[in-house]
Chains A and B, each alone.
Chain A
């Protein structure tokens, strides 16, 4: 598999991640990504998988019983807030 890393891809990944890199960071990211994605391409050599995807649910036989208990009441959660941690600033004026 070829290596798809170019300037356009880096800009697209920045947009997807809601990030904005400096020019210097972009140059560095392009170099690092090319190396890392080349390395990830090792997986192309792996031909022996059964086609099944991994899921943690295969561990379900070992899990404890899921016993519901009384949940915390809303008032108790509200009292946990000290009044300053969460605020919703005005962002659209």
Chain B
């Protein structure tokens, strides 16, 4: 039999249905892989009873109770998505003892579709970072090169896929956190349209941009997993069979887009070079809004009702709050909380937060205008390839600026899909609710010269 870790999830599920393997066997292999890659810090915690759950799924399959095209395939989940009965820490000390009493909506759907959830994956603390180095569990090492970052913040999810632990994983994307690690680990990742996947059970960072999405080694699996977790839109999307597409490539990246354009040329009517005039304002707007929302969302963590609590007992309530938060949060999280408080504070609110929301609206209007002329916008994911571990933490502003191409889709709520092209990856962005169109294009790319 082929090495099972190289097969797609949909292929593995077909093998299970044919009786050539089982969910139990695949889950056992996944747990062995977790052990094999333990030095890479990919996994934060292994979920209890995953082998028993896999056996139950096998029994259902034998009785003909087939729920999805990925039934029986083990899946890993980013550590900021709640799984009932499991520690869900968001990579933070302040939630390191938090056992979730409920499943996130997307996890409920995955379980109902017959996929065994096997482990939580490592990430930047509260998804604040782009190298998966700010976690309490230590930095994630890229399985393609131990000395390099796997990207972030969903670096553990991307690594679990490329290491062969699971062919699919769930990540979250607030400013590129699915697409950038997907690019660095050479897999596929989708940041869905804002609202297409429920955020219930996602530990909040910046609520107006947070989005759960699928990550996979093969685009067919990406589409199948999205089909399981997504909400149905109320509008008719158009598909590749309706008409040919007009593609807009961001000026300067025509050569980088060539492998993608060549592989989908049959469905293209026109290729244009486009400019995004507001692109220079995206990063400052993003960080003002994200930090503002983060400072509000993270104000709930005080260590009183749940989470990390200092052992110092001789403190007033106010002092206890400060002690718990100071010891519980890492440097980057503290920085963003303080920046958020700054842009929201009296005297600075109009100049920073209010201005940023207006600029965000202008960016959205420009992207909408571009989408009147083209169906897909093509641009790189990152400025450069996977960096060496340790090189990202000393200069926060330089690191923020590297999010320039990914934050656009979060600011405008559009779907965007990262393709494993080149060192920096290539993303294709579509109109709102055109997620399935992007997925079909990714499958075409995968069938062409991609794979």
With both beta carbons as reference points, the residue of chain A lying nearest to B317 in the complex is identified as A91
Separation of A77 and B100 alpha carbons in the complex (Å) = 12
Residue of A29, A58, A80 near B338 (CB, 8 A) is A29
Task: Flag if A18 contacts B321 (CB, 8 Å).
Answer: yes
A85 contacts the other chain (CB 8 A): yes
- Known contacts being A13-B341, A32-B335, is A39 close to B359, with CB within 8 Å? no
**CB neighbours of B356 from chain A (8 A):** 43
Task: Flag if A18 contacts B359 (CB, 8 Å).
Answer: no
A7 contacts the other chain (CB 8 A): no
Separation of A63 and B193 alpha carbons in the complex (Å) = 11
Task: Flag if A50 contacts B281 (CB, 8 Å).
Answer: no
- Known contacts being A18-B321, A52-B361, A53-B354, is A36 close to B208, with CB within 8 Å? no
With both beta carbons as reference points, the residue of chain B lying nearest to A9 in the complex is identified as B342
Separation of A58 and B342 alpha carbons in the complex (Å) = 28
Separation of A63 and B198 alpha carbons in the complex (Å) = 12
B275 contacts the other chain (CB 8 A): no
Question: Which residues of A, 60-90, contact B by the 8 Å Cβ criterion?
Answer: 61-65, 77, 80-82, 84-89
With both beta carbons as reference points, the residue of chain B lying nearest to A58 in the complex is identified as B364
Task: Flag if A62 contacts B235 (CB, 8 Å).
Answer: yes
Task: Flag if B304 contacts A88 (CB, 8 Å).
Answer: yes
- Known contacts being A56-B413, A65-B234, is A17 close to B325, with CB within 8 Å? yes
Please report B residues at the A interface, Cβ cutoff 8 Å.
84-85, 98-102, 193-195, 208, 231-235, 278, 280-281, 283-285, 287-288, 295, 299, 302, 304-306, 309, 317-318, 320-323, 325-326, 329, 331, 334-335, 337-339, 341-343, 345, 348, 351-352, 354-362, 364-365, 396-397, 400-401, 411, 413, 432-433
What would 13 more interface pairs be, CB under 8 Å, given A17-B337, A19-B322, A85-B100? A9-B342, A19-B325, A20-B326, A33-B342, A39-B401, A42-B281, A46-B355, A53-B358, A56-B194, A64-B233, A77-B102, A85-B98, A86-B101
| The 10 residue pairs across chains A and B that have the minimum distance between CB atoms | A54-B360, A16-B341, A13-B338, A54-B361, A53-B357, A49-B358, A17-B337, A49-B362, A85-B99, A40-B284
